[in-house]
Amino acid sequence: MSYAEAQKKSVLWDWLTTVDHKKIGIMYLAAGAFFFTIGGIMALLMRAQLMFPNSSLIPAQTFNEILTMHGTIMIFLAAMPLLFGFMNYIVPLQIGARDVAFPFLNSLGFWLFLFGGIFVNLSWFLGGAPDAGWTSYVPLASHYSGIGLDFFVLGLQISGLGTLIGGINFLVTIINMRAPGMSMMRMPLFTWNTFVASILILFAFPALTVGYLLLMMDRIFGSNFFVVEMGGNVVIWQHLFWIFGHPEVYILALPAFGIFSEIIPTFSKKRIFGYTAMVFATMLIGFYGFMVWAHHMFTVGLGPVANSVFAIATMAIAVPTGIKIFNWLLTMWGGRIKMTTAMLCAAMFIPTFVMGGVTGVMLAVSAADYQFHDTYFVVAHFHYVIVGATVLGLFGGAFYWWPRMFGYTLNEKLGKAFIILFLIGFHLTFFVQHFLGLYGMPRRVASYLPGQGWDGMNLVSSSGAIFMAAGFLLFIINIFVSMKNKETTGDPWDGRTLEWTIPSPTPEYNFAQTPLVRDYDAFWYEKYQGDGKIKAAEPLGDIHMPNGSILPIIISFGLFVMAFGLVYHTWIVAGAGLLIVFGAMFVRSVKEDHGYHIPVEEITKDKGGK
């Protein structure tokens, strides 16, 4: 394909076939935001049901389906894709690269995630959603649940494959595609956190793949992994799930930490405090993430030695996390803190996350966990952690990088109103849940009887949810209201890292010339030690770009078809789906595709605009 041909594609075809990391990032954000909204509506439905005791608004079965899908959607289809959106868009820009290492696989990863996500959600219309919780403990999930679990297990398998591909892509991108001069220890912290999170993805998702494989085998092919009468063991599932599931928590948290590590220095006008310590703390958290999973299983009956070992290992995570918190505080110390909305998110993250963190240590106390486990205390804890870190990180990142990604700045007043409303709602909703748990309220209950001392706090909790929803609405409104605030400088926040050296809107080749990095915080260094312009590592020339491809959609569609065949035990359909997959892979492997070049004249034309 030539440059001229590449320009001629229709908008729709362009987005369907794109391998541009920026467009894929935006698609991740859009799809993630869609699922986030759905998951949020489910949360509201649940809080509506639990607002009053003995409520019959939602039947118990439906409630179980909603609670399962809320967790599943929020973790797999909202939080991770939204983070992937930022990683995709920002990481190549931060390391001074034109694209990711595997543009084709990047696109494949996105479409796999989307088709998998759609597949899981189709269960609503085809016989009922999964109802065994996002953890889907067997045998409830294997032999006591309906067809929804088939959709669950296959859909998440497909989207998990996409995540794994994405993880490998980020790893190779970060290792191989850094601009000259950017050593590992000069990388921005968001990139570092993405790197460690990607390692976690690489090692955590295969365990989940095996877990889902076994569950699928039991449900669809009649194997006996979890059939006790045939010698199966149901604890195997819990191990496999949590070997994945605990690192997953850090897969969600680390990129958010990375976002805060960009926002806080930028708006404090100060270099991050203890960069090296931050990097090693990140790696340590990643390592511990794999060594503590059984703290989700304290009550399963592994025995006191196992419980003690995992309890102590879990407590140890508090140390590197504490290091990070103090480093953020000390970064702000002595700085000049400009309280933009992004910074407000980062500032509110610290107390919220610390509260989630300390309850985490409390949960690590194994003997006390016998009281906490599976109660609303746990619900409160992980919402403090996930909303406190991941969701605030996502919102902070959105306000911070919005001008970079969409060429306009979000309204600050509306933004602050949104975040304050959202946080008031959040603490109202979840703070009381700590006490609900200690007062004896188990989690995942479809309703509760009156007179158990829970009524008042559930009412408070449900009212809080309304504030959160109202806040989120303000955010959506902000997106549309702010469209007129065009951003043309490319560097609205006096940024420190390479992504702010690019003109706005971001050209498709990112950097006209590959930048030369001379220090950590490369842009800041040039601003205050150099002439404010980033040095180029190469002469201006034609830029090589990869061709788009429709094959990722076809491969994902093939797996989608295959999954249908498996759910309905129609092997011919499953076979046909597999044939589509291998056919498309065959085409990909046989067709050599060397991309096209953007001529230097086009690039100078763009540069003139700056």
Give, as ranges, the residues between 441 and 460 that touch other proteins (CB under 8 A). Answer: 442-449, 451-454, 456-457, 460
Site for other proteins in 365-424 (CB under 8 A): 365-371, 373-375, 424
Q: Applying CB under 8 A, does 102 fall inside the site for other proteins?
A: yes
Q: Is 411 helix (H, G, I), strand (E, B) or coil?
A: coil
Under rule CB under 8 A, residue 579 binds other proteins: no
Structure tokens at 456: 């008042």
Please, which of residues 231-260 interact with other proteins by CB under 8 A? 231-236, 239-240, 243
Q: How many CA atoms lie within 13 A of 353 on its CB side?
A: 25
Min dist CB 10 to other proteins, Å, is 28
Q: Residue 127 CB, nearest distance to other proteins (Å)?
A: 16
Q: Map tokens 């409104």 to a residue.
A: 477
The residue among 304 and 609 lying less far from other proteins, judged by its C-beta, is 304
Using CB atoms within 10 Å of the CB of residue 542, give its burial: 0 to 12 exposed, 13 to 18 middle, 19+ buried: middle
Which one, of 553, 565, 580, lies nearest residue 113 by Cα? Answer: 553
Q: How many CA atoms lie within 13 A of 96 on its CB side?
A: 27
Q: Which of these segments, 21-29, 216-224, 480-488, 561-569, binds other proteins (CB under 8 A)?
A: 216-224
Q: Which is nearer to other proteins, 208 or 534 (CB)?
A: 208
- Name the minimum Å distance from CB 30 to other proteins: 27
Contact between 301 and other proteins by CB under 8 A: the answer reads: yes
- The minimum distance between CB 382 and other proteins, in angstroms, equals 15
Contact 195, 173 (CB under 8 A): no
Three-class secondary structure of residue 292 per DSSP:
coil
Distance of closest approach, residue 216 Cβ to other proteins, in angstroms: 11
Least Å from the CB of residue 588 to other proteins: 11
Kindly state the smallest distance separating residue 406's Cβ from other proteins, in Å: 26
| Interface residue with other proteins, options 183, 221, 413, 484 (CB under 8 A) | 221
Chain centre distance of CA 556: 20
Minimum CB distance to other proteins, residue 148 (Å):
13
**What are the angstrom distances between the C-alpha of 282 and each of 118, 197, 275?**
33, 9, 11
At closest approach, how far in Å is the CB of 208 from other proteins? 9
3-state secondary structure at position 183: coil
Distance between CA atoms of 372 and 374, rounded to whole angstroms?
6
Query: Within its chain, how far is the Cα of 43 from the centroid?
Result: 18
The label of the residue with tokens 């394909």 reads 1
* One-letter amino acid for residue 323 of the chain: I
DSSP assignment of 33-89 equals HHHHHHHHHHHHHHHHHHSSTT--SS-HHHHHHHHHHHHHIIIIIIIHHHHHHHHHH
Task: Assess 166 for contact with other proteins (CB under 8 A).
Answer: no
Touching other proteins, residues 323-352 (CB under 8 A):
323, 325-327, 329-330, 332-339, 347, 350-351
DSSP 288-311: HHTT-GGGGGGGG---HHHHHHHH
Q: Which of residues 472-531 bind other proteins (CB under 8 A)?
A: 514, 528
Q: Which of 225, 288, 418, 430 binds other proteins (CB under 8 A)?
A: 225
Site for other proteins in 114-133 (CB under 8 A): 131-133
Amino acid at 259: I
From 223, 412, 485, 602, residue interacting with other proteins (rule: CB under 8 A): 223
State the angle between helix axes of 341-364 and 412-438 in degrees (0 to 180), rounded to the nearest 10. 10
Length of the chain: 610
# of chain residues touching other proteins (CB under 8 A): 156
Under rule CB under 8 A, residue 275 binds other proteins = yes
The smaller minimum CB distance to other proteins, of residues 251 and 311, is found at 311
Give, as ranges, the residues between 17 and 56 that touch other proteins (CB under 8 A): none
Least Å distance, CB 19 to other proteins, is 13
CB of 101 to other proteins, least distance (A): 4
If binding is defined by CB under 8 A, does position 608 make contact with other proteins?
A: no
Q: Provide the 3-class DSSP secondary structure of residue 518.
A: coil
216 touches other proteins by CB under 8 A: no
362 makes contact with other proteins (CB under 8 A): yes
> Which CB sits closer to other proteins, 115 or 237?
237
Residue 573 CB-density burial (10 A; 0-12 exposed, 13-18 middle, 19+ buried): middle
* 59 interacts with other proteins by CB under 8 A: yes
Residue closer to other proteins by CB (options 451, 608) is 451
Q: Which helix (H) or strand (E) is 598 found in, with range? A: strand 596-598
Q: 139 with 226: CB under 8 angstroms?
A: yes
Residue labelled with tokens 């703070």: 431
20: left (phi over 0), alpha (psi -120 to 50) or beta: beta
Least distance in angstroms from the C-beta of 309 to other proteins: 9
Which of residues 230 and 476 has its CB atom nearest to other proteins in the complex? 230
Report the residue number, 222 or 608, with the smaller CB distance to other proteins: 222
Phi and psi, residue 344, nearest 5°:
-60, -40
Stretch that binds other proteins, among 83-91, 148-156, 316-324, 602-610 (CB under 8 A): 316-324
Q: How far apart are CA 118 and CA 487, in angstroms?
A: 35
Q: Which of residues 70-99 bind other proteins (CB under 8 A)?
A: 98
